[in-house]
C-alpha cells in the first residue's frame, strides 16, 4: 500500500489524473480502466480530459452502478460520460438496465463482458472512492457482496439505503495491477484511519495482488499518525 497526501482536493484530482493519463499515454497495448462514481473521481475525470493520447486503446468500465436508468442523474455511468467519456476516444462498457431486467441478471451479463475484456489479462487501473462509512465501489459494510469469493460482479442489496447496487467484488478488484482510492474531506478522516487499520471494506482492498495507492487530502489524513 502507498499513501499520498496532497494539499487540497484539487491537488488530489490533478495528481490522480497525471498518474492515470501517463499510464494511458505510455501504454502500447489495450488498457483496462475501471471507473467509480462520486465527487472526487468526478474531479479527476474532468482533469483527465486534458490528456489526449492513447484513449483509443482504453476499455473503460464501471466498478459499480446504481440500479437506475442510464440517463438518470444518479447514474455513475451518466456522470462518467458527461465528465470524461464524451470527450475522449475510449470504448465505454456499461451494465444493461431495463424495467424487464433483474439487477442480478444485469450483473451476470456484465460479469461475462468483463471476463471477455480481461481474458488472460488483469485490469490495469481501477479508480475507487470511499464513503464516510468505509464502503468502496458498492461494497457496503454488512452487505452480502462483501463475502463474495467467486463472482466478479453482483447485485448488492443495501437495506439502509433502500437500494440495489451493481458492484465489482473483491475477486475482480484485487486482481487489478493498480487500485487508486481517491478520498478527500474531514468527514472521511475516521474512515481513512479505520481503513488503514483494516476495519472497513476499503481497508480490505490490499488483501490481494493489486498495488493500492491512496490519494487523500490533508483533511482526510488528519487522524493519521
Q: What is the pLDDT of residue 162?
A: 83
Hunting for cell 484513449 — which residue is that? 55
Looking at the domain assignment, is residue 222 inside a domain? no
d(CA 197, CA 91): 37
Rounded to 5°, angle at Cα 176 from 174 and 182: 85
Over residues 34-63, the mean pLDDT reads 96
Band (19; pLDDT cuts 50, 70, 90): very high
Looking at the domain assignment, is residue 224 inside a domain? no
CATH code, domain with 191: 3.40.50.1360
87, 110, 122, 46: CA torsion to nearest 10: 20
Q: What is the pLDDT of residue 119?
A: 93
DSSP tag of 10: H
Instruction: Give tens-digit pLDDT for 180-192.
Output: 999 999 999 999 9
Looking at the domain assignment, is residue 49 inside a domain? yes
Looking at the domain assignment, is residue 140 inside a domain? yes
Q: What is the pLDDT of residue 18?
A: 97
- Number of domains within the chain: 1
pLDDT tops 90 at residue 161: no
pLDDT tops 90 at residue 220: yes
Q: Specify whether the CB–CB gap between 32 and 61 falls below 8 A.
A: yes
d(CA 181, CA 212): 7
Q: What is the pLDDT of residue 103?
A: 96
Band (174; pLDDT cuts 50, 70, 90): very high
pLDDT tops 90 at residue 163: no
What whole-number percentage of the chain has pLDDT above 90?
Answer: 95
Looking at the domain assignment, is residue 132 inside a domain? yes
Q: What is the pLDDT of residue 189?
A: 98
Over residues 27-51, the mean pLDDT reads 95
Helix runs in the chain, H state only: 9-26, 39-48, 76-80, 103-117, 170-173, 189-196
Looking at the domain assignment, is residue 223 inside a domain? no
Instruction: Give tens-digit pLDDT for 96-114.
Output: 999 899 999 999 999 999 9
Looking at the domain assignment, is residue 195 inside a domain? yes
Range(s) of the domain holding residue 85: 2-217
Instruction: Give tens-digit pLDDT for 50-65.
Output: 999 999 999 999 999 9
Over residues 126-151, the mean pLDDT reads 96
Band (225; pLDDT cuts 50, 70, 90): confident
Q: What is the pLDDT of residue 121?
A: 93
Looking at the domain assignment, is residue 61 inside a domain? yes
Amino acid at each position: 500500500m502507498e499513501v499520498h497526501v496532497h494539499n487540497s482536493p484539487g491537488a488530489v484530482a490533478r495528481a490522480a489524473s497525471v498518474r492515470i493519463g501517463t499510464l494511458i499515454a505510455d501504454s502500447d497495448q489495450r488498457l483496462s480502466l475501471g471507473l467509480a462514481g462520486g465527487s472526487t473521481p468526478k474531479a479527476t475525470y474532468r482533469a483527465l480530459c486534458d490528456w489526449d493520447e492513447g484513449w483509443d486503446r482504453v476499455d473503460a468500465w464501471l466498478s459499480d452502478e446504481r440500479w437506475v436508468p442510464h440517463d438518470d442523474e444518479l447514474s455513475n455511468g451518466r456522470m462518467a460520460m458527461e465528465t470524461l467519456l464524451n470527450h475522449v476516444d475510449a470504448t465505454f462498457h456499461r451494465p444493461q438496465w431495463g424495467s424487464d431486467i433483474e439487477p442480478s441478471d444485469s450483473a451476470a451479463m456484465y460479469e461475462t463482458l468483463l471476463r471477455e475484456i480481461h481474458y488472460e489479462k488483469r485490469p490495469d487501473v481501477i479508480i475507487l472512492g470511499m464513503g464516510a462509512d468505509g464502503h468502496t465501489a458498492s461494497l457496503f459494510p454488512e452487505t452480502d457482496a462483501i463475502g463474495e469469493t467467486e463472482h466478479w460482479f453482483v447485485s448488492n442489496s443495501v437495506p439502509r439505503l433502500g437500494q440495489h447496487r451493481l458492484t465489482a467484488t473483491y475477486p475482480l478488484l484485487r486482481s487489478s495491477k493498480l487500485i487508486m482510492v481517491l478520498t478527500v474531506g474531514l468527514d472521511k478522516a475516521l474512515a481513512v484511519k479505520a481503513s488503514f487499520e483494516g476495519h472497513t471494506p476499503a481497508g480490505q482492498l490490499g488483501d490481494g495482488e493489486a498495488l493500492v495507492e491512496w490519494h487523500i487530502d490533508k483533511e482526510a489524513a488528519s487522524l493519521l499518525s
